[in-house]
Every structure is written in C-alpha cells, then in structure tokens.
C-alpha cells in the first residue's frame, strides 16, 4: 500500500500543498523517495487532472484548481496570501476586480483573484479558464511569445465569436499584438463579454520573460477604458511585486 500510486500521489500533493511557495522537481525529489523520472510523470498527471498547477516559469509546481475548489488550507497561506494581498491593494485603489493570470495551453487561467465590492461584477474563481484570443490577459500573453511558438499556438486555437467585437483571425490578432508591445499593456474592448472592459500588464520572471499578467476588469457603465488606462502605473507597480512571488 505504501508504494501504491494513490499513496505516492497523496504524498506529492501533501508536500506541494504544505509548501509556503511553489516548488521545483528537484526540491520535490529531495523530500519524496521516488525516482526522478517517475516523479516527473506523476507531476504531469496531477497537472493534467487539475490537482497541481505548473507555474508560468515552467519549473515550479503549486496547488492546482481542483485543490482550490476542495478548500485546502493552502489557499489561505504562503504564496496564495502574498498574491491575494497584492491584488487587494490594487482593488482598493481601482475599486474594480483584479486577476493574476497565466497561460495554460490555449486558455488563460486565473491563479488568484480579488473581487470588487460592487454588486455588478463577473464571478470567476481561481482555476477558471477563459479564451486567449478575446481577453486582455490572453492577448498580452500571446503577444509576448516568440514568433514560432505564437504561430503554432494560433494554429491550434478556435476563434469563437463571443461578442460583436471579438477578433476572429490570427491576422487581426497580429495587428493587435504589435500595439500591445508598443504600449506595454493590453485591453479588452468588450471582446469577451458585452459591456465588460479590461486592461492587463505583464508580470516578468527573473530573466525578464513575460510569464503572467495582472489584469483589472469592470463593467463599461462604471469604468471607461480610457479611465482604466490611468491605472496602468498602479498595475505595473503591483506586477513587479507579483514577480517576486515566483
């Protein structure tokens, strides 16, 4: 029983869940008596099942969306608390919902989220996935991929029309990517949901690579996109703080 796949999985989940920060495969190997190749395969399987999450730098593992939903105590401790506190500071300034977002395949995935206090808001939990092609975070993450990787990913995507403003082709997105790189931020002009606008800035790792985003969104009736752009410096300062949580 001690060597069963279930026991190995639970031991691995326990180590990651009780860690105060995301852990590398090497760190896991030092705590779990398991061949490294086996450990790597098990991590991959748990990522696929949603119990673990592979961090944007692709080297660290943390709690996955299914564990968030199970209400494990890790949600309220360690790196989760740090990220929540940073997002809370931005929400206190902007008055609107803020998200910490990374890419997972052809989706953007919410790593952390703090809601506004307004009754009119979009409810999405940590672990929720949204399309890349029609969200501020998704477009920003695509814009910062290298050309070969971006073209490969665009070829795998389904450009679903969610609103009249949704961009529906790789060519249309490429024009948007050039603007994002010039501006240093990305916007959602009611492309994901009618009446909803958003703005996102990049979060960089230690090497300067864009691995995640910090985004703020709100109903257009309450916050215009032009007013939202005034918060870019606030978002950028918070993004630098988030970068230190990797």
Residue 230 CB coordination number (10 Å): 11
Q: Yes or no: say if 217 and 135 are a contact pair by the CB < 8 Å rule.
A: no
Rounded mean pLDDT of 79-99?
A: 89
Q: Yes or no: say if 13 and 1 are a contact pair by the CB < 8 Å rule.
A: no
Query: CA of 68: how far to CAs of 52, 62, 94, 160, 165, in Å?
Result: 10, 11, 26, 28, 33
Q: What is the pLDDT of residues 181-237, one digit of tens each?
A: 999 999 999 999 999 999 999 999 888 889 899 999 999 999 999 999 999 999 999
Q: How far apart are CA 116 and CA 122, in angstroms?
A: 10
Q: How far apart are CA 137 and CA 135, in angstroms?
A: 5
> Quick one: the chain helix, strand, coil %, rounded to 5?
45, 20, 35
Rounded mean pLDDT of 133-152?
A: 93
Q: What is the pLDDT of residues 163-177, one digit of tens each?
A: 999 999 999 999 999
Q: How far apart are CA 17 and CA 76, in angstroms?
A: 11
Residue with tokens 């009754």: 119
Q: What is the pLDDT of residues 34-47, one digit of tens each?
A: 888 889 999 999 98
Q: Between 103 and 136, where is the model more confident? A: 136
Predicted TM-score (pTM) of the model is: 0.72
Helix, strand or coil, per DSSP, at residue 74: helix
């Amino acid at each position: 029983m001690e060597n069963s796949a279930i026991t190995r999985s639970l031991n691995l989940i326990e180590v990651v869940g009780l860690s105060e920060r995301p852990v590398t495969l090497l760190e896991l190997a030092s705590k779990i008596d398991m061949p490294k190749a086996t450990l790597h395969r098990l991590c991959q399987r748990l990522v696929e099942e949603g119990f673990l999450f592979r961090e944007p730098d692709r080297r660290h593992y943390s709690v996955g969306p299914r564990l968030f939903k199970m209400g494990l105590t890790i949600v309220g401790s360690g790196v989760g608390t740090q990220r929540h506190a940073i997002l809370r500071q931005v929400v206190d300034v902007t008055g609107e919902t803020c998200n910490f977002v990374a890419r997972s395949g052809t989706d953007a995935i919410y790593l952390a989220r703090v809601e506004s206090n307004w009754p009119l808001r979009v409810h999405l939990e940590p672990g929720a996935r949204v399309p890349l092609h029609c969200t501020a975070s998704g477009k920003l993450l695509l814009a910062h991929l290298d050309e070969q990787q971006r073209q490969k990913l665009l070829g795998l995507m389904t450009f679903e029309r969610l609103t009249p403003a949704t961009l529906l082709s790789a060519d249309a997105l490429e024009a948007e990517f050039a603007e994002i790189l010039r501006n240093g931020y990305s916007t959602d002009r009611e492309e994901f949901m009618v009446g909803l606008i958003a703005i996102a800035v990049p979060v960089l790792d230690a090497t300067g690579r864009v691995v995640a985003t910090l985004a703020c969104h709100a109903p257009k009736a309450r916050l215009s996109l032009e007013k939202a752009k005034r918060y870019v410096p606030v978002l950028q300062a918070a993004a630098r703080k988030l970068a230190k949580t990797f």
